[in-house]
């Protein structure tokens, strides 16, 4: 079933259903500061599926010059893994090279961020992003999890085939066999016994794996249950 898009609160929040394995694209408009980059994060979510060829064709150098920022970093095209997403917008939407985007977050890029690399360069390193969002994962469906040595569960929010070109939703349960997990880290897939809801108000803790898939941590009570346990 294709996603449906519902806007409310005078265009400040979007709720999108049917999101599992649905393609999205993301651009970070970066401004260099004394201790790294600050980013405006634009995402195609709420504007329809991210068109692969048009997104790939976006010229980040031309875009940076046009919008007066230091750099534009293109996050490789990804696929959401929740079933329903609600997220607050933090500014006006924009269209880049004919592709519409919503402004979904602002963040300070983590130490060691290199705009010449993808997120796998920061594999298994926790960072934070400012956003208000609700992720809903439906009971009975699989969720793909990391467990860090400090016994925090990390729930996959997106996967990408940017590095592992054959990675699909169907192959995710065996992803643990392909990851170079650091000592003490574990991966597993479980079927949810009940709906999992992850509610973020302010800061989300996120971590990528070494194939650039992204997970959100169940930290500070953001989840209504821990599916690892």
- Distance, in Å, from the CA atom of 139 to the CA atom of 149, rounded to the nearest integer, reads 27
Buried b vs exposed e over 24-60: b needs ≥16 C-beta within 10 Å? Answer: bbbbbbbeeeeeebbbbbbbbbbbbebeeeebeebeb
pLDDT (average), residues 135-140:
98
| Cα(85)–Cα(16) distance, integer angstroms | 5
Give yes or no for a contact between 209 and 120, defined as CB atoms under 8 angstroms apart: yes
Band of pLDDT at residue 131, cut at 50, 70 and 90: confident
130: confidence class by pLDDT, cuts 50, 70, 90: confident
What is the pTM assigned to this prediction?
Answer: 0.88
pLDDT score for 3: 41
**Distance between CA 222 and CA 179 in Å, rounded?**
26
pLDDT band (50, 70, 90) for residue 193: very high
**Alpha helix ranges (H) inside 39-121:** 52-56, 60-67
pLDDT tens per residue across span 207-223 = 999 999 999 999 999 99
Average pLDDT over residues 36-42: 92
């Amino acid at each position: 079933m294709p996603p449906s898009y519902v806007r409310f609160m005078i265009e400040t929040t979007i709720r999108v259903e049917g999101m599992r394995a649905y393609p999205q694209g993301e651009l970070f408009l970066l401004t260099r500061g004394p201790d790294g980059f600050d980013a405006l994060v634009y995402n195609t979510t709420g504007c329809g599926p991210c068109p692969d060829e048009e997104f790939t064709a976006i010229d980040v150098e031309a875009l940076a010059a046009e919008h007066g920022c230091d750099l534009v970093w293109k996050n490789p095209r990804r696929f959401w893994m929740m079933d329903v997403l609600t997220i607050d917008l933090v500014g006006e939407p924009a269209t880049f090279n004919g592709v519409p985007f919503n402004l979904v977050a602002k963040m300070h890029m983590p130490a060691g961020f290199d705009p010449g690399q993808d997120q796998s360069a920061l594999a298994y390193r926790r960072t934070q992003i400012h956003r208000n969002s609700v992720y809903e994962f439906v009971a009975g469906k699989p969720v793909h999890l990391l467990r860090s040595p400090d016994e925090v569960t990390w729930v996959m929010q997106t996967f990408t085939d940017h590095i592992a070109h054959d990675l699909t939703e169907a192959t995710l349960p065996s992803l643990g066999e392909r990851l170079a997990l650091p000592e003490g880290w574990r991966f597993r897939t479980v079927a949810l016994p009940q709906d999992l809801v992850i509610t973020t108000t302010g800061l989300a803790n996120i971590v990528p794996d070494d194939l650039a898939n992204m997970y959100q941590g169940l930290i500070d009570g953001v989840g209504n249950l821990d599916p690892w346990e």
